[in-house]
Amino acid sequence: MRRGFVDAFLVLKKKLEPYRTVNLLLDNMKVFLLVVCLAVCGLAQRPQPCDSPPLLSGSLTVITQSESLVAFVNYTYDGIQERIRLQEFGLSGNETFLFDFLLLYKQRIMYQINNENQTCFKKRLGTSFYSLSVPKNASFQGHAVLGSSSFPGEGVQINTWEGEVHTKDGIAKYIKTVTQTGCIPITTLYLTPQDEWVVTSFYDNIVGIPNLQNFEPPKFCENAQLEEEEEPEYFYMFI
């Protein structure tokens, strides 16, 4: 009798073996899917490089190391047509200055405008357009709150990124801070290929361009002759 039960059990076990294999495969698949889900969730939680609004305007300050330069700039930025207007005044050493630059990257032309003297220099722009967005190859460094997190409205959440920019003179390194919501630029610290630092701080940013005329050179620039010598590549430090 016992022998019969043993034989019956072995026969039943053999018949159920394919189902057991299927169950093992299903269990392994569940584990695999769980691992994939955890990996995707972890990647989704980690901040990714963001795109700043393509149209921005506002103000910024620039402080450099080598020339003891402090500049206060009103900027207008068009990331779609790749053009920037920089209207600035500042202090270099013991001297004050006024500058007005219109940078048209698609045309590779820069206008240096003096509204007071009604003079205009038209130069070849020797640099590529640098977007305000966080570059896709930037490395995430951390998250912080600018201001206070004690009560709603007292602080702004920001993300910090770092990376490198290839210039004609070599590789420049940067640390870039933007708002977590909206990817609005806050500060950028550049270390030039000559190991000199430049700090740009943004404020009073507005999404959009209130006055498109900022991208039109004044009439007294119409007769300006193009100087073929390329302007040095340093405007990347301003953004």
For the chain, the domains span 1-35, 55-238
pLDDT above 70: residue 166: yes
Q: Which pLDDT value is given to residue 239? A: 53
Q: Is the pLDDT of residue 221 over 90?
A: yes
Q: What is the pLDDT of residue 16?
A: 46
CATH number of 55-238: 2.50.20.30
Q: List helix spans (H) across the chain.
A: 2-45
The pLDDT of residue 36: 44
- How sure is the predictor about 116, in pLDDT bands with cuts at 50, 70 and 90? confident
C-alpha count within 13 angstroms, C-beta hemisphere, residue 53: 17
Confidence of residue 233 (pLDDT cuts 50, 70, 90): low
Band of pLDDT at residue 39, cut at 50, 70 and 90: very low
Query: Helices in 94-166 by DSSP H: which ranges?
Result: none
Local confidence band at 229 (pLDDT 50, 70, 90 cut-offs): low
Pick the more confident residue, 162 or 97. Answer: 162
Name the pLDDT band for 230 (thresholds 50, 70, 90): low
Residue 6's pLDDT band (boundaries 50, 70, 90)? Answer: very low
pLDDT higher than threshold 90 for residue 161: yes
- With 60 as the cut, is the pLDDT of residue 5 above it? no
Helices (H) and strands (E) in the chain, counts: 1, 12
Q: What average pLDDT does range 22-31 have in this prediction? A: 47
Predicted pLDDT of residue 209: 95
Q: How many Å apart are CA 95 and CA 99, to the nearest integer?
A: 13
- Bridge partners (DSSP) listed for residue 125: 231
Q: Which position has the higher pLDDT, 40 or 149?
A: 149
Mean pLDDT score of the chain: 81
The pTM (predicted TM-score) of the whole model is 0.76
Q: Measuring CA to CA, which residue among 30, 89, 95, 84 is closest to residue 56?
A: 84
